Amino acid sequence: MKTKIILFGFFSIIFVSGLFAQEAKKTEKNKSELEVVEIQTSAICNKCKVKLEHDLAFEKGVKYVELDNDTKILTIKYKKGKNSKEKIKKAITKAGYDADEMPANQKAYDALPECCKKGNEPH
């Protein structure tokens, strides 16, 4: 009986260790499948930051979004093959902001709060 308990404990430890090893491999693989892009935007204020980060979080494959208010650079991490820099830039323009050389969608830009429009940058 004692031997069975020891054997059961031994095999349980081996099984759990194997599960942890598999999960670590999956996590490492997922990290290598992420693409990171930086896109210059026309964002101005904290409302812009909240809107862009919220809207882009729902784009296909996007895992991380952060806007640096000082540089106006949006950093996005997304799954390779699920999205592309060009599609993300298009999503930014549809939110009403310029994305690198792509101008904002005019209708979306017109719907932004006044504080988010060009010319309202803090001095």
DSSP string, the chain: -HHHHHHHHHHHHHHHHHHHHHHHHHHHHHHHTEEEEEEEB---SHHHHHHHHHHHHTSTTEEEEEEETTTTEEEEEEEBTTB-HHHHHHHHHHTT--BTTBPPPHHHHHTS-GGGSTT----
| Rounded-to-integer distance, Cα 54 and Cα 34, Å | 19
pLDDT along the chain (123 residues), means of 10: 63 62 59 89 95 96 96 96 96 97 97 90 59
Q: Specify the pLDDT at position 118.
A: 86
pLDDT at residue number 50: 96
Q: What is the pTM of this model?
A: 0.72
Question: Given its phi and psi angles, is residue 33 left (phi above 0), alpha (psi -120 to 50 degrees) or beta?
Answer: alpha
Q: What pLDDT was estimated at residue 17?
A: 60
Is the sign of the CA dihedral 70, 64, 99, 111 positive or negative? negative
Identify the pLDDT of residue 20.
Answer: 65
**Predicted local confidence at residue 53, as pLDDT:** 97
Query: What local confidence, expressed as pLDDT, does residue 10 receive?
Result: 59
pLDDT at 122: 62
